[in-house]
Structure 1
Amino acid sequence: MTSAYILIVAVLVMGGVLATLGDRIGTRVGKARLSLFKLRPRNTATVVTIITGSLISASTLGILFGLSESLRDGVFKLDDILKKLRQARGEIEMVNQQKTQGEKELATARSQQAQVEQRLNQTNRSFQQAQTQLKKVSNQASILRKEIQALLGERQKLIGEKNKLSKEKTQALQEKAQALQEKAQILQEKDKALQEKAQALQEKDKALQEKDRVIADISKRETFLKTEIQSLLGERQRLIQEQNQLIQDKDLVIAKIQEQEIVLKDAIAQRENRLQEIEVQLAQKETQIAERDQQRQELEKQFAFLQQQVDVLEQYYQDYQDLRQGSVALLRGQVLSFRVVRVVEPKVASAALDQLLREANRTAINIIRPSNSDPDEPLVQITENQANQFINQIKDGQDYVVRLLSAGNYVMGEKQIQVFADAVPNQVVFKSGDVLSSVAIDASTMTDAEIQQRLDQLLTVSQFRARRAGILGKIQIGDGNATPLIRFIEQVKKSNQPLDVTTVASQETYTAGPLEIKLVAIKNGQVIFSN
């Protein structure tokens, strides 16, 4: 503030002194009636006054421009500053929109996570209840299986007894039938004997009286044998009836067992159907639980990503506040040195770090202390732990894009600047023809300002996506010449038709860059023109 007062006083004093000198010189020239360049004395005095006023203006501007760097920048670089200011405001507005959208998505993700956790708890309770029911049904099924096994054993036992009784009855009947056959054979033999005796009686009339007694005895024996035969036949009939009764009883028992088997089989089938339904429900529940777990994991990933985005946006917002205050000369994360290195021998890694530190130190001195005459003054510092990690990372013989970045915001005149090292493998990020972004433009319905705004948004989004993809080096339109870009914009404005303007990578690009962006105008899948 003191230097400004001194500057104002110096300008006023210098203007007053020069005005006084100009007035005196003009007066003397007028009185002396001098003539310059063959002019009249009055015109000569006028010329002297004009020259004096020009000297006053020139000295004033010279003092102002010589002593005030900000005034020089404001006069000669005002257009560039305003352009950068508009771009910064656009980026800030986009960042604020992204921050608002991120906060909304974060709130939505949190509410969805709460709903998912609530549903997961309810599903766990249902799963536990289903497991309890499954255990009960399994126990009941085990009991039924045991009962069925016992009934089947009893059935087999009864069938065995039935077969045994049938064999015994059949054997007894066969023995009795054989005895009856033997008795019938005896009767047949006796009948034959009687026939022979009757024939003998017919032949011998004289022996009839003697043989009457024999015939009577034979009649008694026949009666006895008939009685025996009838009793045997009645016993056989009774045995057959008893066997039939036993068979009927066995059949009734078997029918009851079969009915019980049918009932048990139906119950088992119902239980098995129920078990299958429960297993299907359990499988569905497990599938739902797996899907819920997967959704929960995805939501957790989205939440973590959104949280990172919120942190980044908050950091951008803080940097923007620092920029608005106008006191920050070096921003947090600003690149101080940048190059691609390959360390074949591990011993060379420390030398590569030293060279990066020297470059970063010179860059920081030019920003923080532009008037410093000692460019080798140690201003940049890095912690030993970070340096060791950086050296161990780059000494494997691969290509790395290495950078030294500012660890914080620093103002003019800082005596110490803390930096941190970043090393990223230099690998292919974009192939030739990869699409970065696209926007629709209709020159027939849009004004030139709207077309320019759309193209600016397209380039901003393309640059943002390229940075997100891993490009650390320079990002430019074509070879950096503005003429092809201007021609492309003019062609878009003159096309007077709806187009899809797309940004693509013009060649294979590594992490170190530079990324050359090519603008392509497409309609119905056909390329109309490009830059």
Structure 2
Amino acid sequence: MAGWLLILALLLLGGGLAVMGDRLGTRIGKARLSFFRMRPRRTAMVFTAITGSLISALSFTVLITVNDRWRRGLFELGRIERSLQTTREDLNTTRKALESVQEALVTSQETLMDAERNRAQAEARVQELREYTGTLQVQTQELQQTIHVLDGQRQQLWNEQALLTETVRRRDQQLDALQEQINSQVNMLHGLRRSVTALRRGDVTISRNEPLAMAKVVLPRSDDSKVAINSLLNRANQVAYERLLPGQTPTRQIIYIPTSEVERIATALQDNEAWIVIIRSANNVFLGENFLLAFADMRPSRQLLAAGQVLASVIVEEDERSLEAVNQRLSLLLATARNRADRLGSLNGQVMLDNEALTALVQDLVGRTTPRAALEAFSMEDGETGDPLRLGVRWLNSPLGDAPDPDHG
């Protein structure tokens, strides 16, 4: 609407100015005015042209004053055209970019569709892998349990292997020890054979483990131990000389005892207790030999027997009235008593008897009137480990008296 009003205003203004110019030219022509020494007619034409120019200038002035677009179009047309050209070029570039983008979009859409399909396939694959992973986890747990069981079995096998190795090692040691024992037994057997042969010939004078000297030792002072040991060894050396080299004067030591044995004896004697020390032969020794290997047998001295303690008993049967039969029964009684004392710990092999009383008892048993006779062997006194065994024999059902003498022997 504003454009039509502007056109109408320009038409009215141009018409008014045309009328004014025409009248101005007519008046100038009638007045015969001259401008710049021109003829009046030319002057009128110049003013008429000036009026037309004013109409055009005024029209342009109104247009550029009222309408900003016309003003920019009149004065900035070249720049606008250049900008338009640039814009068109940019538009073409943009269109080309748009086409490229559209093509890329199509490609992207296709790629997206492919990616969607791949994703669907991947999701399906992932689901399969999850299921497979679950199966693998279950199998892994089963395998772990199996591995745990196998580890336990392997540890058990290792333990069994170690046990078997230890058993084999012990068996080898036992076999070695048995082999050594066998070798030792073979050597001992050879020695025994030689000893048996020597015994048959009567050449063995001192047998193995036979005591050579025995003493009960109680030391008030520890520094007396060497004196006591030397005294005991000298006694044993004297006995060995008398039995191996009879008739010769002891001039040197023929008994050899390890130093460790001597030290063991000395250490044991330092506790101020009573000890029974026995020097024994370590092997069989023949008559005429001048070397004897010995060792020490030590036992603590203690009371073994009490006075009146019964050690053995025997029955003399009715038909055993001869001297030989009675002596056999008495020998059995005394041997049993001796054996009982040995089992109790007696180390002294000497047995002391009242021979007169024993002879009288034998005569009474031979001439008895009772069918059977009960005899007992008993200890006559308190006895310790190293004391000789003093025995008495009594007849329990003796018809010779109402109360038999307990010391009868």
* TM-score of the superposed pair, with normalisation by structure 1: 0.38
Question: Whose helix fraction is larger, Structure 1's or Structure 2's?
Answer: 1
Q: Considering only CA atoms, is the larger Rg found in Structure 1 or Structure 2? A: 2
